[in-house]
Amino acid sequence: MEDRALPDTETPTAYSIPMAVLAELTHRCPLQCPYCSNPVEMEQASRELSTAEWQRVMGELAALGVLQIHFSGGEPLVRKDLVDLVAHADGVGLYTNLITSAVMLTEARVAALAEAGLAHVQISVQGATAAVADRVGGFRDGHAKKVQAAEWVRAAGLALTLNAVMHRQNLHQLPEIVDMAVAMGAQRLEVAHVQYYGWALKNRAALMPSVAQLDEATRVVEQAQARLSGVLAIDYVIPDYYAVRPKTCMGGWGRQFFNISPSGKVLPCHAAETITGLRFDSVREAPLAEIWHRSEALNRYRGTAWMKEPCRSCAHAEEDFGGCRCQAFALAGDAAATDPACALSPLHAQVFALADTEAATGGDRFLYRNFSGGVPEA
């Protein structure tokens, strides 16, 4: 990477020291979730960073000032070196979180991870009953495995979050999912409506909730937040297509967080590779600190100087930083366009109408992803 001065967009407010990194160890996964956020073209195992490469990167993360590392995938438990990676991260002073489907967890592996320094586990759930959850995940007995894994996690003294990805075909179970989170001993529940990138975009018509469903989900969440205050923290993310203002995606493009892909590419978010025409630098090519400060792709949409109207003069520009660039590209064909989730976008009404139509006519058939690489033994 050539040595050059920082671009004009890199003012003191454009970005800061990154707080956390999502370490996507692999794209391999035993589940076939129709809302999968991994790229349509996934990285093969032969391209994944090695144990030594990840350990070097963790040292660079700590030196850069990163506080947290979130081990993700695919399914990070596919990696046989996961315990070693957790131990190294803990050794360099990073707070460690495992984001997992939990279907490959064993009691012995939970104990080994806890001993290595793992602090937190986030388990994804696809429903409140096996009939719904296993159909969504495309994995037989997956729900029962998750319930058992949560018990092992809590017994090991680890903090637990449940991540419930919600859509039209499981929203009716939201009250039971809230109760399940309490019963499992989770400290936090993320009620996150599907975001339509990557593979999820292929299943949008089967996943999009109706406005009535969304209103009911909001009511359920708000009542649960009040009822369970001090018992269960509940985060809530609505589907962008029905929003009035865009969400502050990842705290803003390249401002506070970043991902490292299985092959080492540094991304501002997990979906950024859906934007064609951007080249993302790899930790195999340059030191991480140099990439964070000088990457052309990370600097492309940092701060607000890149914005077009009406975003540039919007009173909320320094709050939402333009919303989601991946969504702008997917729906408007231009990553610099106004996020169609914003009411000021010329596409906003059209996108809302599209969502409403798909919710009513989309059917219930999922297009599952089949990964030919297989899943090695834990």
Residue numbering of the annotated binding site for [4Fe-4S] cluster:
29, 33, 36
Residues contributing to the annotated binding site: 29, 33, 36
Residue indicated by tokens 């195999």: 284
Question: Nearest-CA neighbor of 354 among 235, 277, 242, 264?
Answer: 242
> Kind and range of the H or E element at 225?
helix 211-227
How far apart (Å, rounded) are the C-alpha atoms in residues 189 and 176? 12
Given CA atoms 184, 102, 236, 174 in this order, what sign does their dihedral have? negative
How far apart (Å, rounded) are the C-alpha atoms in residues 85 and 89? 6
Cβ pair 312, 304 in contact under 8 A: yes
| CA angle, 357 then 359 then 361, to 5° | 65
| CA angle, 301 then 324 then 120, to 5° | 105
Residue 69 sits at φ, ψ, to 5 deg, of -125, 130
Residues 6+ apart with CB under 8 A from 230: none
Question: Nearest-CA neighbor of 118 among 101, 97, 148, 102?
Answer: 97
Residue 247 sits at φ, ψ, to 5 deg, of -75, 155
Cβ pair 214, 191 in contact under 8 A: no
